Structure 1
Amino acid sequence: MQMVNVEIHQLQNCNNISGINRPRMSKRGSQLPSARMVSLEIHRPYYRSDSKFSVMLAIWGQFLDHDITATALNKKLNGSSISCCQENLIRSPECFPVFLEQSDPFAQFNVTCMEFVRAAASPKCCLGPREQMNQATAFIDGSVIYGVDESLVNSLRTMSRGLLKMIVTKNNKTLLPLSEDMNDGCNREEEKRKGKYCFATGDSRANENLHLTSMHLIWARQHNLLANTLFELNPHWSDEVIFQETRKIIGAQMQHITYNEFLPIIIGRELMKRHHLLPIVNNNFSIYNESVDPSIANEFASSVFRFAHTLIPGIVKLLRNDTSSPEFIQMRKMLFDPFNLYDEGQLDGTLKGAINSSIESSDQYFSDELKSHLFERKNDPLSVICGLDLVSLNIQRGRDHGLAGYTSWKEFCGLGKSTSFNDLTFIMDPSSLNNIRAVYRDVEDIDLYTGGLSEKPLKENLLGPTFTCLILDQFKRLKFGDRFWYENPKVFTLTQLNEIRKTSLAGIICSNSDNIGTIQPLVMESWKDQNRDVSCLKIPSPNLSMWKESLEHMNIPTNKFNVKVIT
């Protein structure tokens, strides 16, 4: 298989071949096949686990994604959501619904349309291609924990000793602050009557699933753990100094986990080594380039990095300290249902279950939980029968953003030009290619999401060459284009940096779970001889004494002075 060529665009923003005024059309100028048809015919439910990696890999991927990307959706003038599938209504020009064929499994329930609202256009000072905005900061900086605007950040702070707001329950559990807005899409009246609410964090998507909410919780606890330690070391520091220094450490820890644990699995350690992406061992990183654009590329946010959805299993394990008695729950029942975190043992059970569950294989196949039961509403009979199809929505989002087709990106990555389906024979497995031929009329019509997931994975890699190329490009720019990158000179002292290098996701979980006492050192990888459970006491963690500030003492003269008062 051809080597991934990223040298040609390592300093470019990939938006230069994406973004048009309207959703992408076929090569012949006609409508592309329905995103739902593509989902049904190519991305069929098929269950094949990958025992090498744990579900924690997918959880970190989503948490990281929310730190660097957030697409803004169009809304009505009053801020309410736009509906695109209601009959007898004039459809908004910002609607781009997914229409279902008569042969669709949902058609028997009279479902003909799947809701989809176009992403808000980024304001521009002149006419030209429509581009979309990113509501998150592009940098890996912990904004998912704190928010991106000052008012939100301040609302999450206690304004004392650098701490974040938390609540303490009757059973003495420390949880995220409450979101009491009953119209936030998460809170429910039946839970409110029990005194349970969804949670407020720096990102509005935190309550989407129990795994994600748990990750938000342990990182908010991590912030307060660091802030309390810094206060003990430097009691003369102000609230603002402690908060900002703690946030700086949190961002550095997220960067280190991403490049030390997550990316070596996704794009391979050898490729990372070749492109200087692996963390430095005993020195600083000094290849910052101010000409590198670190912003998030359109194709990365709206298509490529959504590959992790294929890793999510349909059945999720919850594991208490008694590992012989696991519980299992359908993924659909974890969506917008963070209320279990109020109960004893649920946080630890959720985290340990994810660490001890295998991901689904990275391929073009998806769990039916994501294709037929996404965001079902318990009190809506039709919704219980027909949830949303995440695969259809991902494909539709790429079209909404006007992304070029798969073959354009494949060529962009130095993998050759494709003028017929036969040109894909060596890069895709036969069954995938046959299904693609049956749905798309022309090879250039293939959507990026579908084509990228259908490629054969590179050796010792989760993904095929095109997605590997585009992910590599994005994370190179995030590192080389960040002048506050944690390994850059003057961001931390070398002794402080060496302490941050002790960070691991296992250590974060050990320090901030309720009662987890043993853990695998590499939580994104499956249990094996080299990755057996060890005591949390054996997991290294940074020593914050390196942040203790030495106050310089001023020499005050002891001589006595005669003072004459002049009246």
Structure 2
Amino acid sequence: MYGSDRARQMQIRSGADGKIAVGDDGMLPADPVHPGADLTGINDNWWVGLSLLHNLFAREHNVICDGLKARYPTWKDEELFQHARLINAALIAKIHTVEWTPGILGHPALDFSMHANWSGIPCRVLRAVLGKNSEAAFGIIGSPTDQHSAPYAMTEEFTAVYRLHPLIPENLDVRRLDSTEITASDLVKMQGPASRKFMQTHGFANLLYSFGTAHPGAIRLHNFPNFLRRFTKDGQPLLDVAAIDIMRDRERGVPRYNRFRELVGKKRVNTFEEITSIPGAARKMRAIYKGNVDRVDLMVGLLAEDLPEGFGFSDTAFRIFILMASRRLKSDRFFTDDYRAEVYTNFGLDWIHNNGMKSVLLRHMPQLGPALEGVNNAFAPWNVLRG
């Protein structure tokens, strides 16, 4: 949302009170360079889903600016912007850790562990015994920074297990908050140059509601969205994203599925049937890989692998997820050594602690209240209203 360089950051700012520039309708303006995209930090591969999140958290940034200005009236535009950016980014990291991840990995133990990952196990005795530097007792946030022998980076292994295109459905039921009207729309018609027009046609609140009541695709074999297997973009040649996903792992040296399992501490498999119980999948893999189970591509194995109860993706992938989720926090000084009032302000720390995805949604779109009533995790399905 904020871009990766100072020049882009200055383009998206309003120049007053630390705020991001928005139009009279409260929405991000159009990017004059990329037709159909919003003017935001990074808008490559733009589509309505990204637009919803960028618009939502741009509004959150601006509300945080209002809160900071009320408490620090002498602060200038730069101080307000940079503090709001820091607070907003930490809130997004918290939401990803304790809400999105348990939402897609629906198991009580996982929910408990991700909250512990962020803020520790809420047990007074444990905290007293282990002390303030214990991550088990107090979580990673605010603990000492540790790069674990190498500066943090998005590793090839993490990129490989995060190829989650099957989450994307072929189409979306666009619903209205004020009626039972449903309009089915192909996802290919709400991306690229068509993104802003689609948003303007259906409205910010209605599209948030539509995505909130939609279900993601299963991260399994035979569920890759067909429109991404014959995808055209900006005049480029026809793209088969499924084939590209596999080829990227091969050309970048990511181990095949069996060796990958071994490297993350799992037992190697000797037969295709050990990988999966999906009907017919073992037979197809045997034919494609000429009977050699060691040749199964990582992505194919991950999509075929039988899942733990409640999990939305494989245990093999999860081992990389939990490692990188922890490292992402532990190696960043703004979540560790500098997660303190002198950097964030007391207001900022309170904002992060007291908010989550549901409160953000309701703050900026209170008309979503009935859809979110009784919903504890905003990444779980919302209530479908009857008009």
TM-score range, shorter chain: 0.7 to 0.9
Q: 2:94 aligns with which of 233, 256, 272?
A: 256
Once the two structures are superposed, residues 12-65 of structure 1 have per-residue CA deviations (whole angstroms, 9 ceiling, x without a partner) of xxxxxxxxxxxxxxxxxxxxxxxxxxxxxxxxxxxxxxxxxxxxxxxxxxxxxx
Kept in 1, the 8 Å contact 2:95–2:357? The answer is yes
- Supply the distance in 2 between the matched residues of 1:204 and 1:495 (Cα, whole angstroms): 30
Q: Residue type of the partner of 1:215?
A: L
Q: Alignment partner of 1:179: what SS?
A: coil
Q: Structure 1 375/434 Cα, relative in aligned 2: closer, same or farther at 3 Å? A: same
3-state SS in 1 of match to 2:324: helix
Which residue matches 2:240?
Answer: 389
Q: 2:39 matched to which residue of 1? A: 200
* Matched AA of 1:435: K
Aligned residue for 1:218, secondary structure, equals helix
Paired residue secondary structure (1:327)? strand
Contact 1:227 1:246 in 2 (8 A): yes
Q: Is 1:166 the counterpart of 2:14 in the alignment? A: no
- Say whether the 8 Å CA contact 2:174–2:206 is kept in structure 1: yes
Distance 2:200 2:142 in 1: 47
1:54-88 deviation line (CA, Å, top 9, x unaligned): xxxxxxxxxxxxxxxxxxxxxxxxxxxxxxxxxxx
Residue number in structure 2 paired with 1:357: 214
User: Aligned equivalents of 1:375 and 1:508: distance in 2?
Assistant: 35
| Contact 2:172/2:185 (8 A) holds in 1 | yes
Q: Distance in 1 between matches of 2:328 and 2:229?
A: 35
Please give the TM-score of this superposition, normalised by the length of structure 2: 0.82
Measure how far apart 1:506 and its partner are.
2.1
Structure of higher CA gyration radius = 1
Contact 2:176 2:182 in 1 (8 A): yes
| Cα distance in 1, alignment partners of residues 157 and 362 from structure 2 | 36
In structure 2, distance between residues paired with 1:475 and 1:281? 17
Q: Report whether the alignment pairs 1:523 with 2:375.
A: no
* Deviation of the 1:356 alpha carbon: 0.7
State whether residues 286 and 488 of structure 1, in contact with CA within 8 Å, keep that contact through their aligned partners in structure 2. yes
The two structures have a TM-score, normalised by structure 1, of 0.58
Report the aligned-residue RMSD: 2.9
Q: Are the aligned partners of 1:370 and 1:390 in contact in 2 as well (CA < 8 Å)?
A: no
Within the alignment, does 1:277 sit opposite 2:117 as a pair?
yes
CA contact (8 A) 1:288 1:482 kept: no
Deviation track 1:433-483 (CA, whole Å, cap 9, x = no partner) reads 222111113222221111111101112211222111111111121122222
Partners of 2:71 and 2:142 in 1: CA distance: 30
Structure-2 change in CA distance of 1:459 and 1:515 (3 Å) = closer
Q: Which residue number corresponds to residue 254 of structure 2?
A: 403
Flag the 1:221–1:494 CA change in 2: closer, same or farther, 3 A. Answer: closer
How big is the shift at 1:177?
2.8
> Which letter does structure 2 place at the counterpart of 1:277?
N
- Cα offset for 1:511? 2.4
- Alpha-carbon distance, 1:495 to partner: 7.2
- Helix, strand or coil at the partner of 1:161: coil
1:362 maps to a residue whose letter is I
Does residue 436 (structure 1) correspond to residue 274 (structure 2)? The answer is: no
Structure 1 contact 311–360 (Cα < 8 Å) conserved: yes
1:462 paired with 2:307, answer no
How far 1:323 moved relative to its partner? 4.5
Match of 1:156 among 5, 8, 12: 12
Cα distance, 1:493 vs structure 2: 6.2
Matched position secondary structure for 1:318:
strand
CA gap of 1:345–1:511, structure 2 versus 1, over 3 A, is: farther
Show the 5 A alignment for 1:294-305.
294-301=152-159, 303-305=160-162
Question: SS of the counterpart of 2:42?
Answer: coil
SS at match of 1:360: coil
Any idea what the Cα deviations from partners look like across 1:172-209, whole Å, max 9, x if unmatched?
x222132222xx4xx2xxxxxxxxx532211132x621
Contact 2:3–2:40 under 8 Å retained in 1: yes
CA 1:497–1:151: 2 relative to 1, 3 Å: same
1:339-396 CA-to-partner distances (Å, cap 9, x unmatched) read 236636521121111111112222122254334443367xx8xx9xx95322112112
Distance 1:511 1:375 in 2: 37
- CA apart distance, 1:230: 2.0
How far apart in 2 are the matches of 1:294 and 1:508? Answer: 29
Task: Summarize the Cα distance change of 1:518–1:344 in structure 2 as closer, same or farther, 3 Å threshold.
Answer: farther
> Is the CA contact (8 Å cut-off) linking 1:370 and 1:391 kept in structure 2?
no
Deviation at 1:243, TM superposition (A): 0.6
Give how far 1:246 is off.
Answer: 0.4
Change (3 A) 1:494 1:155: closer
Deviation of 1:333 (Å): 0.9
CA–CA distance in 2 between the matches of 1:226 and 1:518? Answer: 25
| Alignment partners' CA distance in 1, 2:19 and 2:347 | 25
For the Cα contact (< 8 Å) 2:22–2:29, is it kept in 1?
yes
Secondary structure of the residue aligned to 1:366 is coil
Q: Is the 8 A contact 1:347 1:514 kept in 2?
A: no
Measured against aligned partners, the alpha-carbon deviations of 1:201-229 in whole angstroms (never above 9, x if no partner) come to: 11132x62111112111111211122123
2:299 aligned partner: 449
Unaligned runs of 5+ in 1: 1-144, 188-196, 534-567
**Is the CA contact 1:506–1:519 (under 8 Å) kept in the aligned structure 2?**
no
SS of 1:507's equivalent? Answer: helix
Structure 2 gap segments, 5+ residues each:
123-137
2:76 pairs with 1:227: no
Query: Cα distance 1:387–1:511, how it changes in 2: closer, same or farther (>3 A)?
Result: farther
Q: Distance in 2 between matches of 1:158 and 1:149?
A: 17
- State how many pairs are aligned: 357
Question: What secondary structure is seen at the aligned counterpart in 1 of 2:117?
Answer: coil
Inter-partner Cα distance in structure 1 for 2:38 and 2:347: 37
Mapped contact 2:38–2:196 kept (Cα < 8 A):
no
**2:216 partner SS:** strand
The letter of the residue matching 2:119 is P
Aligned residue number for residue 242 of structure 1: 80
Q: In the alignment, is the contact (CA less than 8 A) between 2:230 and 2:240 conserved in 1?
A: yes
Residue 178 (structure 1) aligned with residue 30 (structure 2): yes
Q: Is the helix fraction higher in 1 or 2?
A: 2
Note if 1:316 corresponds to 2:172: yes
CA contact (8 A) 1:331 1:369 kept: no
Structure 1 residue 286 displacement after superposition: 4.7
